[in-house]
Amino acid sequence: MAEKQGYLDFDEYIRQGEPNKKEKAVIWQTAIGLQAVDGLKTSDYLKETARRHIEGEIGIDEVRNLIKTYYQSKTKHDSDDADKQEADKVSANITKILSSATLDFSANGFIALHRRIFDGVFKHAGKLRDYDITKKEWVLEGDTVHYLNWEDLRRALDYDIKQEREFSYRGLSQDELIIHITRFVSGIWQIHAFGEGNTRTTAIFSILYLRDIGFEVDNNMFARHSWYFRNALVRANYKNAIKGIDYSPIYLERFFRNLLLGEQWDLRNRYLHIHPTAEWSVQPNLADRASTGQVPEQAPEQAPEQAHDLLHTDNHLIIDLIKKFGYEELSVSQLMDKVGLKHRPNFLEYHLNPAIAAGYVRMLYPQSPRHPRQKYLLTVKGLALYEKTNNK
């Protein structure tokens, strides 16, 4: 199936558990899997070159140069070379982007991300479209989403990203959090700022943003279900009063519930069709034995209430630190006072750094760790755990 294209090639590296190789393999899975949203498949040459990168034989920039040279020097051309060249180059570009933790959360950053993803592929990489578009969609029986008119693209990007930057996740329940993230990602995609590559850009932007606000994002969700992700975006932005069809963000919400909360909704495209057959009319949650008639698998060491709780941590030092944090922005010395510790190295090693690594705490100035006014605050994930802990 297209949704799994490229997925099985890297399973062995993930099972081996070597951290560096595993991390690279997961990123490559995501990069390759996302090509399915435009019906593209990578070449065997790309997969072999990716293997060499995972093994540490070559760096990512050398990967990109090898791919460029491969297509420049190729003497025998196949009918699908253009598609494979796009898929190969974009996969390598995405791998380089996801290997970095940086994010410019602005309209300029979003536009620059498109340029970086499609560098060497599209002449219009990083350029807003200057024409209106429609796209026939299978899930809409050939109808199209109404995308934003081209004159308003920059204004809309500025507005949506500014609103999100100023939004506070403080006090939100998990359901409210998922609804809000769904609305933001859906809105960015509906703008459809570029002539091509909007879904892939939206996916990478979403991964980087969710990481930035504290979530541990399972990139494999995008690798395995990239086509579902795109169709869920379509359904979230489609309304037809004559056909009696309203906007349906529920499918995209279920994608994010699986991604961020560990739920197990069955993410198959047939549920998203505006007129599904009776067999595909109800999308089941595979963790619900009433939906499947089966008891869901559960790791033996997890208590039932912890099985799908991504807020959970067994580190009591992290929990204690989060309780002291609250909603404040605090310096290291202020945090040490609140925790009641005087030895800075121990505080950093056993309290603050583990909380940052687990995604509960972030720096106010992440690009300048030694900033003279550096302070720390809870991420969205940290705030959610703070709220949950205080409400017990």
pLDDT tens digits for 99-130?
987 899 999 999 999 999 999 999 999 999 99
Average pLDDT taken over every residue of the chain? 86
Q: Is residue 293 part of a domain?
A: no
Q: Residue 362: helix, strand or coil by DSSP?
A: strand
Average pLDDT of the residues in 304-310: 43
- The Cα–Cα gap between 100 and 110 comes to 15
Has residue 303 got a pLDDT over 70? no
Is the distance from CB of 258 to CB of 267 less than 8 angstroms? yes
Number of CB atoms found within 10 A of residue 75's CB:
4
- The Cα–Cα gap between 235 and 246 comes to 9
Q: Specify whether 95 is located in the same domain as 133.
A: no
pLDDT in tens, 78-88: 778 899 999 99
* pTM, 2 dp: 0.73
Q: Specify whether 238 is located in the same domain as 329.
A: no
Has residue 17 got a pLDDT over 70? no
Among residues 65, 100, 135, the one where a domain terminates is 100
Q: CB-hemisphere CA count at 13 Å for 354?
A: 16
Residue 272: name the closest of 142, 147, 146, 138 by CA. 138
Query: Is the Cα dihedral 239, 241, 244, 246 positive or negative?
Result: positive
Q: Specify whether 92 is located in the same domain as 133.
A: no
Average pLDDT of the residues in 305-327: 72
- 104-113, 253-262, 321-330: which range is least confident on average? 321-330
Q: What is the pLDDT of residue 1?
A: 37
State which residues form the domain around 264.
105-112+122-287
Q: Is residue 189 part of a domain?
A: yes
Q: Is residue 292 part of a domain?
A: no
Q: What is the pLDDT of residue 343?
A: 87
pLDDT in tens, 147-205: 999 999 999 999 999 999 999 988 888 999 999 999 999 999 999 999 999 999 999 99
- Which of the two residues, 224 and 155, has the higher pLDDT score? 155
**DSSP type of residue 101:** -
Q: Is residue 138 part of a domain?
A: yes
Is the distance from CB of 43 to CB of 71 less than 8 angstroms? no
Residue 41, classified by CB atoms within 10 Å of its CB into exposed (0-12), middle (13-18) or buried (19+), is: middle
Q: Specify whether 165 is located in the same domain as 268.
A: yes
Residues 6+ apart with CB under 8 A from 112: 104, 126
- The Cα–Cα gap between 356 and 378 comes to 9
Q: Is residue 296 part of a domain?
A: no
What's the N-to-C CA distance of the chain in angstroms? 45
Q: Specify whether 160 is located in the same domain as 268.
A: yes
Residue 50: name the closest of 107, 101, 9 by CA. 9
Distances (CA, A) of 237 to 140, 184, 189, 266: 11, 12, 9, 21
Q: Is residue 302 part of a domain?
A: no
Q: Specify whether 254 is located in the same domain as 345.
A: no
Please state the domain count of the chain. Answer: 3
Q: Specify whether 277 is located in the same domain as 329.
A: no
- The Cα–Cα gap between 235 and 241 comes to 14
Q: How confident is the model at residue 50 (pLDDT cuts 50, 70, 90)?
A: very high
Percentage with pLDDT > 70 across the chain: 90
Q: What is the pLDDT of residue 203?
A: 96
Q: Is residue 91 part of a domain?
A: yes
- Which of the two residues, 302 and 133, has the higher pLDDT score? 133
Q: Is residue 5 part of a domain?
A: yes
- The Cα–Cα gap between 79 and 70 comes to 16
